[in-house]
Structure 1
């Protein structure tokens, strides 16, 4: 496959205006060579896919709330025993040390079947000993003579009843084990703080669960946004277009608005022309083919011609697809390129001059034109050569399947082939088909132009 960009025989060499334009032009619209995603790209993905993040986060919170509401609440209540030791043979300090040494083993007695059966009978619980064992615990705070008996239940009242019933039974069990000789040693566990009904359950923790649901949903949303962006068949970022097509993005411009020339996107087209010049050693191609998607808008041809006029180059814009809107909706498009091929009008009669730009314009003509591919191909080269006699640059606007002229028929006659793709509209499959169709006639695309939707209420930028 030969590359279409070859200016050795047919070129417009740069003059002083071109060099000054290159020096003052904005930075190139391409991504600068690196095709990996950086932090800015990830932020762009999150901005573009924010709806998925919101949906996933909302679902995470709703699911957490639903699970929390479905869970059975759990209440806990705590009763406290204070253990004292009396001995006629030891000092007060020795008795306190003895109590602290012994009290650490007392919480294990809470699982004694006698205590569990006593609680079940006292409260008339419909629980097995194993179930009650899981709902009843005891602990000794470090360096204290206290024993905390904790009861758990699905109601606050039942939790307090279990703790208050178990604490005295535990005290009786301790006394029975330790007070074998009360005259020498007397251990007395007393209920110092009875259990009270808790105000709120310890589980489920609604705030914590909602926070976890929010974090899980947000994380899932971010991952989902990145996956969807990766699988999206549309052109979203210039870097992705370069990576998938191996073609440089020469510029990102706004689409045609029907009425141009207001200067709002002037910098974008200066950027495009600058990138084209810098990519080719400051040589401006004389024949430029711009291929568009038939289902998407095309470039702002008048703005492009105005940019070329700013460096002293008069452009002629030729539309090769009758489906394209005219540059000026007030103009008649019944006479154009199709009628020139049919020889019903001359080329000079079909070309419209726009001295205010300045530029020339050749519309596609009537939609009823039926032409043979052979006739179009045979007349294309002499027609373009004739157009070049009065213009510095000939810009052909068409698609790969169009009438009267398709992209393949005119590509082999052009120095530069640019393929347009619209942000969030054009698919990579379409770009691949265009590149393959060009390859079938041994023409390689020069680069890509990314089209951005016109911002109707955008503030005009200084050009």
Structure 2
């Protein structure tokens, strides 16, 4: 995957990343609030050996002290010292609990020993640190005295008594919160990647092309200015595909659960802008087709032609702003879907082909109306309209397979970006609503 693929995942799944970061940060804050405040007080001690007065004796004593001090941290933090401190101070803590508060370290190549004790209060930390150092020094004296009444071989003395801590050492809330944010980012990106990886939704033209194995003839953008350019590119492909033929019949159907008549209407207008004679047929019996969009419910149309109630094809209402002749659905009944798949509709297409350069058929979604499969057999080319961001790959593949099974096949697909905001209204010059009585429709002989 390229870097652009990862940035695309973040753009699409940013809500998952943000939610995960907020959740991990909240958990980190909750965890930090459960950690009690801790203070540390440290006593520094010096280890010396009983030696002679010569330089060599002092040197040997220093080496012996360094050897001793490697074992003293274990003694200082051991159970014996803890038991003595508990008995001395009358603590409610057990020796094991006190051991968990004590740590002892020594700087390398020195005879210094630091005994640190952690407690919930500054006074408690200092009190425990001094008690531990005193009991440790007493225990060392006992251990290093080999002959009763003689001086101990090693001696431990306090050089820096435990001070009163002025600030707590924990919890480090900032660090915990920072770790929470980092963990949230990592987990959020992982969840976003997994969600995107296993999401069957078609979101990009590249993904659309890989999914169906068909050429993507164009992508209709959300913005009207970009959509005009996109439709122009689609028009160029249709014009090139027509070649030297006198007329070309193109069917457009949706692979979504609802109709997409706007693509057929925009393509018809774009073809008409070149001076071509264009007829636009509404063959969508779902009720979501062009007839309602162009307020042509009162006009006779396909249904009447198929029932031989309006046999003439020489007069069609004209969408004046686009220069496109429109054959609306008309008054459809229960017979209309069956008649659309009959030879009568092929006769309608043939009759229109004598008067127009392009005949565009806006059919119902192929997965909700099987008539689209039969209609495609009467057309020179069939194009599927796929809405990015809402169409699922299995549903799309089922639509493609249905055309392949019927023996017609698709010449390509057109991707559309759904209008999610008010910045992408229906073009006023493309559609008229019922609140606008002047539709600019006239009859052309």
Please classify the TM superposition score into its range, dividing by the shorter chain length: 0.7 to 0.9
Partner of 1:313: 276
Given candidates 130, 133, 147, the residue that maps to 2:96 is 130
Partner of 2:229: 267
Which shows bigger deviation, 57-66 or 223-232? 223-232
Q: CA RMSD in A?
A: 3.5
Partner of 1:152: 118
RCO greater where, 1 or 2, for CA within 8 Å and sep 6 or more? 1
Q: Deviations over 1:306-361 (max 9, x none)?
A: 32235443321111014114386454543111111122223436522346543321
Partner Cα separation in structure 2 for residue 166 and residue 81 of structure 1:
11
Q: Does 1:209 align with 2:171?
A: no
Superposed counterparts of 1:18-417, under 5 Å: 37-84=1-48, 87-91=51-55, 94=59, 96=62, 99-111=65-77, 113-178=79-144, 188-254=155-221, 265-276=227-238, 286-292=248-254, 293=256, 295-322=258-285, 323=287, 324-326=289-291, 329-348=294-313, 351-354=316-319, 357-368=322-333, 370-371=335-336, 373=338, 376-400=341-365, 406-417=371-382
Partner of 2:435: none
TM-score by length of 2: 0.81
Partner Cα separation in structure 1 for residue 244 and residue 176 of structure 2:
65
Q: Pick closer, same or farther for the CA change 1:187–1:231 going to 2, 3 Å.
A: closer
TM-score by length of 1: 0.78
Q: Pick closer, same or farther for the CA change 1:402–1:421 going to 2, 3 Å.
A: closer
Partner Cα separation in structure 1 for residue 332 and residue 215 of structure 2:
34
Q: Pick closer, same or farther for the CA change 1:263–1:353 going to 2, 3 Å.
A: farther
Q: Pick closer, same or farther for the CA change 1:242–1:375 going to 2, 3 Å.
A: closer
Which shows bigger deviation, 241-250 or 295-304? 295-304
Partner Cα separation in structure 1 for residue 46 and residue 367 of structure 2:
96
Q: Deviations over 1:177-200 (max 9, x none)?
A: 446699998755322222234345
Task: Give the gaps of 5 or more residues in structure 1.
Answer: 1-36
Partner Cα separation in structure 1 for residue 198 and residue 82 of structure 2:
61
Deviation at 1:264, TM superposition (A): 5.5
Q: Pick closer, same or farther for the CA change 1:220–1:434 going to 2, 3 Å.
A: same
The question of whether the paired residues in 2 share the 8 Å contact of 1:351 and 1:362 is answered with yes
Q: Pick closer, same or farther for the CA change 1:113–1:413 going to 2, 3 Å.
A: closer
The question of whether the paired residues in 2 share the 8 Å contact of 1:341 and 1:376 is answered with no
SS at match of 1:313: coil
Q: Pick closer, same or farther for the CA change 1:299–1:410 going to 2, 3 Å.
A: same
The question of whether the paired residues in 1 share the 8 Å contact of 2:269 and 2:323 is answered with yes
The question of whether the paired residues in 2 share the 8 Å contact of 1:253 and 1:449 is answered with yes
SS at match of 1:189: strand
Q: Pick closer, same or farther for the CA change 1:310–1:297 going to 2, 3 Å.
A: closer
Given candidates 415, 418, 424, the residue that maps to 1:450 is 415
Partner Cα separation in structure 1 for residue 368 and residue 62 of structure 2:
105
Partner Cα separation in structure 2 for residue 332 and residue 383 of structure 1:
20
SS at match of 2:291: coil
SS at match of 1:326: helix
The question of whether the paired residues in 2 share the 8 Å contact of 1:76 and 1:151 is answered with yes
